Amino acid sequence: MNEHRRLYPTRPQAQRALVVAVDTQDPQRPLAPELAEFTALADAAGAIIVDEVIQRLPHVDPATLVGSGKAREIAERAEAARADVLFVFNDLRPRQRTNLEKIVPLPIVDRTMLILDIFAQHARSREGQLQVELAQLRYRQSNLIGVGAALSRLGGGVGTRGPGETKLETDRRRIAQRVTLLQKQLDDVRRQRETRRGGRGRDPFVALVGYTNVGKSSLLNRLAGSGVNEGAFVADRPFATLDPTLRRAYVAPGVNVRLADTVGFITALPQELVNAFRATLEELENADLLLHVSDASNPDWPRQKASVETTLHELGLDAKPYLDVFNKVDRLDPAARAALPPGALEVSAATGVGIDMLRAAIAARRTAAAERLQ
């Protein structure tokens, strides 16, 4: 009799999202590739895109981002599409968020909130969770405190994972106390890292850097010879790796290196994330060599590569020795492969193509560095 009353696990229903973007037609940052990336982030967060509205303006409207007339159109389209959340590509100021919510009565999630939400979903270690919570609190402390309507409407769904609604609705003093506590805990993590670095031995330290979802974790696994269940976590989605992974890898007879997988970058990486993940990014500061990994199969790789270089410059790491590595060449036809930059290392973590050449290049850099020190 009880067999007909079994309980089965259920998944929360995916949110129906309407995407809004303002295109200021900046030739340095064309909207199309970044908007496509934004919708991929929304998909990774578990939302379903039901409609898209693009407003072309010379600059964003200071009051509502899109202009009052366009805001009313967005409200009508959101109702027609039965959307239950508004994803805004552009970062919002508190005033813009408040005014937009008066016209469009939906929870509003901007790009930074969306990225923070994905980080909250993927953080596995205690360190990663601390970093994500700190980033979320700092962002909301500087952008959302005092915007009561926005906070009261964030009752679950994309943009609300992590510290949660209860923390967000506390006053400034309590949030500041929480931020201070998290900073102290992450300082402890930093000191522990320094201690571990002191005992790592003399193997050169090589860090993989690159745009999100270019295959850094797969490449680390290939170089380290890790099996399916023992290597770095791999998934075809943005920001699958948040927690740094260290592996020892053979590169030449008598030469091994320590490899580190790091969090992927993205265009205009939110400053809150850069600050919060400082303890993790310090791994890059101690690297003897950086492998800048790009996705050769993505036609947008030049923009992504330039974005990573900008971030490395902002972190003061652009003077580090590095190798340009183009991954996923197995997905290219001969003409596209021939168009890659001359001198770049062409590899496929999936098939093993070019891995021996990459090992040799790392070993050559190691030998050259050793000779300079003599």
Hey, what amino acid is at 22?
Answer: V
CB of 249 within 8 A of CB of 213? Answer: no
Q: Does residue 99 have a known ligand-binding role?
A: no
Q: Does residue 328 have a known ligand-binding role?
A: yes
Count Cα atoms within 13 angstroms, Cβ side, for 301: 23
Q: Does residue 98 have a known ligand-binding role?
A: no
Q: Does residue 213 have a known ligand-binding role?
A: yes
Q: Does residue 240 have a known ligand-binding role?
A: yes
Which residue in this structure is represented by tokens 């009261």?
152
Angle CA 69–70–71, to nearest 5: 90
Q: Does residue 354 have a known ligand-binding role?
A: no
List beta partners, residue 323.
Answer: 291
CB of 241 within 8 A of CB of 187? Answer: no
Q: How far apart are CA 231 and CA 246, in angstroms?
A: 10
Q: Does residue 184 have a known ligand-binding role?
A: no
What is the layout of strands, in order, in the sheet containing 345-346? Answer: 245-252, 255-261, 205-210, 289-295, 322-327, 345-346
Q: Does residue 263 have a known ligand-binding role?
A: yes
Q: How far apart are CA 71 and CA 108, in angstroms?
A: 13
Q: Does residue 262 have a known ligand-binding role?
A: yes
Q: Does residue 242 have a known ligand-binding role?
A: yes
Q: Does residue 210 have a known ligand-binding role?
A: yes
Q: Does residue 143 have a known ligand-binding role?
A: no
| Three-state secondary structure readout of 46-115 | CCEEEEEEEEECCCCECCCECCHHHHHHHHHHHHHCCCCEEEECCCCCHHHHHHHHHHCCCCEEEHHHHH
Q: Does residue 214 have a known ligand-binding role?
A: yes
Give 8's contacts (C-beta < 8 A, 6+ positions apart): none
Query: What is the widest separation between alpha-carbon atoms in the chain?
Result: 81
Q: Does residue 212 have a known ligand-binding role?
A: yes
Q: Does residue 261 have a known ligand-binding role?
A: yes
- The three-class DSSP label of residue 352 is coil
What is the layout of strands, in order, in the sheet containing 48-56? Answer: 48-56, 16-23, 85-88, 108-110
Q: How far apart are CA 163 and CA 130, in angstroms?
A: 10
Q: Does residue 227 have a known ligand-binding role?
A: no
Q: How far apart are CA 224 and CA 272, in angstroms?
A: 32
Which residues define the annotated binding site for GTP?
A: 210-217, 239-243, 261-264, 327-330
Which residues define the annotated binding site?
A: 210-217, 239-243, 261-264, 327-330
Which residues define the annotated binding site for Mg(2+)?
A: 217, 241
